[in-house]
Amino acid sequence: MRKYLFLIATLFLLFCAQNILKAQSTLNLKNVSVINEQGHVRISWEYPGTDTLKISRDNLVTGTATSLAIIPDPTITSSYIDLTADAHLQPRSYRIQSIKTSEDFSKDVSTFYLTQEYDSCLRQIKLSWEDLETSQYNASDWTPTQFLINIEEDGNLRTETVNADNQEILITDLQENTNYKFTVETSWQETSETSLSNPINLFTEMPQSPEYIRAISASANGDHTDLKFLVASDSELDTYKLLTSTARDGTYDTLQTISSATSYINAMHENSNPDAEVRFYKMVSINQCGYETTNSDIINNIVLQAENNDYDNSLTWNTFLEGSLESVNYEIYRIVQDQQPELIRSFANHNDFTDNIESLQSYSQFCYFIRATAEGSSEYSQSNTACAYLNPTVYIPEAFTPNGDGTNDLFQPVFTFIPTDYEMRIYNRWGNVVFETSNYTEPWDGKEPNGNSARTGSYIYIIKIETPNNQIIEKRGNITVVYP
């Protein structure tokens, strides 16, 4: 009986020793990574034993693993590079095992095969990756914990993290004509090291959008608004859209599509009502796919209003470059009657001005416009022209002497303004028209329609006048013809 007990104990001890020895000599893969664009794979491992090792790789034809390489002395070699992996074309799975002890082998670990779908129009790329476990073979024994997407943009590296449950990512806002490199870095539950997928290199070749588009000016021109924009010289695009809105932060509608290969683009908003309506404008470049790329800054027109109060003309206008922090200089020009414009005031960041015209009371019409210039700019934007009027005065003489002596020979009303509409009729005492005109510069020279001189005596005049501010003045009275 004791012999049997001793034999059982001995067998138990041998079994434990074998398992301890096996545990001590277990093979552990540390890392399986694709190392270049050719799809070469580096495999590294930990092994405390001395047995000759065999590296096996999946056989995609048979769906089994086949011998790839023999490591005769694992005490001096702990890594291997598979130069025939072609892991840039498909995922690959690897296992390491002892030739001497068939039970001593590592887990199967697969590389990740990274693919891409690039959309140059949307400037985005969709990255997808798979290992053999997610493809047609169930080969990988390791479990990912997360994926780190490495995005190298012209040498500058940034990363994005993807949950282990997902194996794709959409990367947007790619820059044009830029070198990119993408890799997926996998974190595993079984090791603190990470594995790399095959890299994808991409050059986003497409026509270069302009680095900037600058709004230069917005000027009233009658019923239209003239606009000017500067496009950066690096632009390889030739299609632009002019957009407008009634509010700076409102919805912008397309006014027109413009084809231009020049740096300066001139545009016009027809029938924009610049005397009364403030509009906001911007220009955007359009790429070959019809998508908007670069937006200009926003510019707006200036609406000037003028109002008379005795001998003061009050001017008010909206802010140029509304919402911008730029300092703006305003120049105020005044036009008296039909004289040349005169600069009367210049200052920065104002929206009102009062012009005292007491010294100019012999005139009735005062028109103004404003030129606004952003700080550092040599280009100005011009407002509409707004006019104010003194109370109109009409002086009509009581008599004249059409005897040809050069003194008081003509009958004509005197205005402190220029009429926009005019009509004058002269009647004799029998009610017959002896003179009529619609030209305010044409006087009555005392002649009747037949060319004879009018007789001495009293005549009736009826004069109708429309002022520039649409006021109708009607005058009736008597004019006396005298021959001294």
Beta bridge partners of 306: 315
Domains 213-299 and 304-389 share a fold: yes
Q: What is the enclosing helix (H) or strand (E) of 17? A: helix 2-24
In degrees, rounded to 5, the angle at the alpha carbon of residue 85 between the alpha carbons of residues 84 and 88 is 120
Beta bridge partners of 394: 415
pLDDT on residue 137 = 59
Residues 7-45, buried b or exposed e (16+ Cβ, 10 A)?
A: eeeeeeeeeeeeeeeeeebebebbbbbbbeeebbbbbbb
How far apart, in Å, do the first and last CA atoms of the chain sit? 174
pLDDT on residue 12 = 47
Torsion over CA: 401, 407, 408, 409 (sign):
positive
Instruction: Label the pairing between strands 168-171 and 156-163.
Output: unpaired
Q: What is the mean pLDDT of the chain?
A: 90
pLDDT on residue 59 = 79
Nearest to 370 by CA among 330, 414, 318: 330
List Cβ neighbours of 384 (8 Å cut-off, separation of 6 or more).
220, 274, 275, 302, 303, 304, 369
Which residue type, as a one-letter code, is found at position 331? E
Cβ 117 vs Cβ 110: under 8 Å: no
Question: And the tokens for 195?
Answer: 């594995």
pLDDT on residue 136 = 58
How many whole angstroms separate alpha carbon 403 and alpha carbon 410? Answer: 10
Q: What is the enclosing helix (H) or strand (E) of 462? A: strand 457-466
pLDDT on residue 7 = 45
Domain formed by 213-299, architecture: Sandwich (2.60)
pLDDT on residue 104 = 85
List Cβ neighbours of 190 (8 Å cut-off, separation of 6 or more).
107, 142, 143
Predicted structure pTM score: 0.58
Torsions phi, psi for 365 (to 5 deg)? -110, 125
How many whole angstroms separate alpha carbon 254 and alpha carbon 241? Answer: 7
Cα-based torsion angle of the residue sequence 150, 152, 156, 158 in order, rounded to the nearest 10 degrees: -30
- What residue segments make up the domains of the chain, in order of their start? 25-206, 213-299, 304-389, 394-481
pLDDT (tens digit, 0 to 9) for every residue of the chain, 484 residues total?
Answer: 554 444 444 444 444 444 444 444 478 889 999 999 999 999 999 999 899 999 999 876 666 788 999 999 999 999 999 999 999 999 999 999 999 887 788 888 999 999 999 998 888 999 999 998 766 556 678 899 999 999 999 999 999 999 999 999 999 999 988 999 999 999 999 888 999 999 999 999 888 899 999 999 999 999 999 999 999 999 999 999 999 999 999 999 999 999 999 999 999 999 999 999 999 999 999 998 898 999 999 999 999 999 998 889 999 999 999 999 899 999 999 999 889 999 999 999 999 999 999 898 778 889 999 999 999 999 999 999 999 988 788 899 999 999 999 999 999 998 877 888 999 999 999 999 999 999 999 999 999 999 999 999 999 999 999 987 788 999 999 999 999 8
How many whole angstroms separate alpha carbon 352 and alpha carbon 346? Answer: 12
Domain 304-389 has CATH 3.20.20.80: no
Superfamily of domain 25-206: Immunoglobulins (2.60.40.10)
Domain 394-481 has CATH 2.60.40.1220: yes
How many whole angstroms separate alpha carbon 168 and alpha carbon 127? Answer: 5
Q: What is the enclosing helix (H) or strand (E) of 186? A: strand 179-188
List Cβ neighbours of 318 (8 Å cut-off, separation of 6 or more).
278, 300, 302, 303, 351
Q: Which tens digit of pLDDT belongs to each residue from 116-165?
A: 999 988 889 999 999 987 665 566 788 999 999 999 999 999 999 999 99
How many whole angstroms separate alpha carbon 454 and alpha carbon 430? Answer: 13
List Cβ neighbours of 90 (8 Å cut-off, separation of 6 or more).
60, 113, 135
How many whole angstroms separate alpha carbon 152 and alpha carbon 62? Answer: 38
Nearest to 114 by CA among 199, 201, 203, 204: 199
